[in-house]
Structure 1
């Protein structure tokens, strides 16, 4: 099982992502609840068989290990929209070279 993590730069933010499981497995993108939540301690990783799937989690803009935290960048809080969050997800997907994936989450 492989674990990797990093950040993707997007306008006014850096989005944190982490990937675990089989690098050749089918990608599963996990979205945490929010706003204001995070990937936490990584319990979401247990939801998918790491031999069959590559599970990718990301901390939403302004949350968790993504930077800046929403309360530190109030001038750009208006940018935290559904469309911007989708663009952030797309940036992570493209950065990781994922063409198709299952999207799952909580909350």
Structure 2
């Protein structure tokens, strides 16, 4: 899952100091994809906003690929400490024939 472009764009737009590096790891039922680069933000709040945007982008990509299940963006600091997780559940329901009420 390539989220660094979306997150990097948000990071470049913010100019808060002092800057800290945050890592946005993507997690789904198939495993964890670690962010090896990270993005600098001036606050955990800014990183939280970026995580929500990244989660929305990830949900869109997962849905378009026809996959279902839980997805998450786990945000860690430079020491690897988990700061927050943004979670979503993608469910796909198909209805064939008349719906029962």
TM exceeding 0.5 = no
Larger RCO: 1 or 2 (CA < 8 Å, sep 6+): 1
Structure ranking higher in helix proportion? 2
- TM-score (ref. length: structure 1): 0.30
Which one has a bigger Cα radius of gyration? 2
